[in-house]
Structure 1
Amino acid sequence: MPADRRLGAGARLALTTFTVAPVRPGRVDRATAGTAMALAPLVGALLAVPVAGVLLLLDSLTAPLVAAAVAVTVSALLTRGLHLDGLADTVDALGSYRRGPAALEIMKKPDVGPFGVVALVLVLLMQVAALAELVDGPGSAVLAAVVTASAAGRLGVTLACRRGVPAARPEGLGALVAGTVGPVALAAGIAAVMLLAVPAVPDRPWQGPLAVLTALAVAAALLRHVVRRLGGITGDVLGAGVELVTTLVYLGLVLSG
């Protein structure tokens, strides 16, 4: 497939995978999947714009905590809640202390166990609290912070899909995207998101990039643990990575100097 067509197909696949956008995915193969996973941070940045808009608009009308809660709700709606579902399933599997097929079987169950419920509550609380703190800053910094966190969360997917990371199952999203992202695309994504992070904390321009790198380091460590326990990545693992990195970046941005 020519490079321009692969880029277009990859962009469509990224939009259908990470958003509720009514876009037809077009051709789907591993080459296209690799392009889609490399473009994931860009999709995250685009998703952040309406979320930040809602946050800033409601902050002028109501309490910061309410504005933050609605903004997090909008983010979940724009992604069909798939990343939150992946977080719950992944934490339930890891919390069971089972390995391989037994752990994967837990992830397939439609219900959410106690570990997953606790993870969802904690992550959502931290995101809401962080956004309520961030919204007190200048509007441009708020937009930069939300864009950074959302893009970094999807960069966690790019990281998980890098070469050398296997799929846990022979079918499903994990099998399609595992090992499809090369080092150049990953490095470019990290550099781009770090650049986006600079204006997120205007008086400490180093803090945003440091928050991104720290969150990715934690995600990489967790990914190694998940691969040991499950045998590789799944679609649920990717969703968990989105929520983990997004939350850690938000927390990193609100830390006081």
Structure 2
Amino acid sequence: MAFGTLTALPVPAPTVIDRRVAGTAMTAAPLAGLALAAGAGVVVWAGGLIGLPAFVVAALALATVALATRGLHLDGLADTADGLGASYDRERALDVMRRGDAGPTGVATLVLTLLVQTGALAGVVTAGAGVPGIVVALVASRVVLPLCCTRFVPSARPEGLGATVAGAVPVTVAAAVASTVTALSVLAGFDPAVAWWQGPVAVLAGWAAAGALLVRCVRRLGGVTGDVLGGCVEVALAATLAILAI
């Protein structure tokens, strides 16, 4: 479920999807992020090898991630922005998000977020830390999923992906995953282009940015949906890359 939902990798479908399977899938989300990072890392490495401009390398790497996820999280970000911008009425906002078409608020949010991601990754590539940077950012941004699926976050709807995964990850498990990834992010500091503190701070900044969006959505929508989870992933990715680019 983790790889089949969060990536375009051809894996067998789960025979059953219940809260246990959903919780395990969200817990395994960083592993799906690691698979995406492998592909994006190859693009960054190859782009540097043939001398492509850093901005082009960054755009191609992020395009690879978008292709490998079928644009799932980008679509969620656009729908979330449209819902939050459509109305203060909860039901109307959720209806706008359910439609799936992108309005001006969603398009603007999508473009600006992608510009931040691409510009920040270009800065990391220019500094010579493109591969460790994209690995840390992609894995850490997927940790948002187990963090958003603990018992503290309700579902906005009684059906859909949000209802399936909401509260499905034990708090202790989410904390263990977050602690492990934070600790491993220190390894980015072995690259001379990255300060020792940047990995952990970038990871925490990404989660804080996603948390701010999550709080807003819980207040406005009553909880999470699949779109909200995707939006949180993209916001976390942008914030993490921005700190790594310093």
Distance 2:2 2:122 in 1: 29
Distance 1:58 1:143 in 2: 11
For 1:228, the aligned partner's letter is R
Distance 1:131 1:204 in 2: 16
Q: Which runs of 5+ in 2 are unaligned?
A: none
Match 1:103 to one of 88, 93, 99: 93
Partners of 2:44 and 2:131 within 8 A in 1: no
**Alignment CA distance shift 1:192-1:100 (3 Å):** same
Q: How far off is 1:59 after superposition?
A: 2.2
Partners of 1:92 and 1:116 within 8 A in 2: yes
**Alignment CA distance shift 1:155-1:99 (3 Å):** farther
Equivalence for 2:180: 192
Partners of 1:161 and 1:179 within 8 A in 2: yes
TM-score normalised by L of structure 2: 0.93
Match 1:154 to one of 139, 142, 152: 142
Q: How far off is 1:90 after superposition?
A: 0.1
The total of aligned residue pairs comes to 241
TM-score normalised by L of structure 1: 0.89
* Residues 1:57 and 2:84 aligned together: no
Cα RMSD over matched residues?
1.4
Distance 1:200 1:254 in 2: 12
Distance 1:144 1:188 in 2: 22
Q: How far off is 1:143 after superposition?
A: 2.3
Partners of 1:54 and 1:71 within 8 A in 2: yes
Q: How far off is 1:110 after superposition?
A: 3.0
Partners of 2:202 and 2:240 within 8 A in 1: yes
* Residues 1:121 and 2:111 aligned together: yes
Partners of 1:16 and 1:25 within 8 A in 2: yes
- Worse overlay, 110-119 or 237-246: 110-119
Q: Which runs of 5+ in 1 are unaligned?
A: 1-12
Distance 1:109 1:98 in 2: 17
Equivalence for 2:229: 238
Q: How far off is 1:23 after superposition?
A: 1.0
Distance 1:214 1:63 in 2: 27
5 Å-filtered alignment, 1:136-151, equals: 136-138=126-128, 141-151=129-139
Partners of 1:162 and 1:181 within 8 A in 2: yes
Partners of 2:211 and 2:232 within 8 A in 1: no
